[in-house]
Amino acid sequence: MPPASPVWNYFYKSLQFYKGNKTHKKSLCKACIQKVVHYQLNCDNEALAQGQHLRIRDNAGIEREVIQMMFDSTGTVRIFGTVEVHILKGQVDVL
C-alpha cells in the first residue's frame, strides 16, 4: 500500500467510517477547526467581559471538544456561529 499523501497533514482523521462506507474514514479540515476555536474563544471572552460565569478553556481544550463533537455527531455539517464545519468522506487526495 502506498504511503499516505502529504495532504493528510491538513486534516484530522477519525477511526470511524464515513456513514455506511467500509473504506473511507471521517475527516475534518484543521483550518476549519481552528476557525471554530477562534470563534469559541471570542464568545468566551465576550461572556467574561459581560461578567457571565464561564469555565476557562484553552485553545487545545476547545479544539478537542469540537473534534470530538464533530466525530460523534450523526450529521455531516455543524454550524458554530458563522463557521460551518463539514465532515469529509476521507478522500482528501482528490480534493
pLDDT in tens, 49-68: 888 867 778 899 999 998 88
In-domain check, residue 2? no
pTM score, two decimals?
0.75
Q: What pLDDT score was predicted for residue 83?
A: 84
In-domain check, residue 56? yes
- Into how many domains does the chain fold? 1
Q: What pLDDT score was predicted for residue 90?
A: 60
Residues 6+ apart with CB under 8 A from 93: 5, 7
Residue-wise pLDDT for 18-51, tens only, equals: 777 777 778 888 998 999 999 999 888 888 888 8
Q: What pLDDT score was predicted for residue 7?
A: 84
Of all residues in the chain, the percent with pLDDT exceeding 70 is: 88
In-domain check, residue 27? yes
Residues 6+ apart with CB under 8 A from 24: 17, 18, 89, 90, 91
In-domain check, residue 3? no
In-domain check, residue 49? yes
In-domain check, residue 1? no
Expressed as residue numbers, the domain containing 38 is: 10-87
In-domain check, residue 53? yes
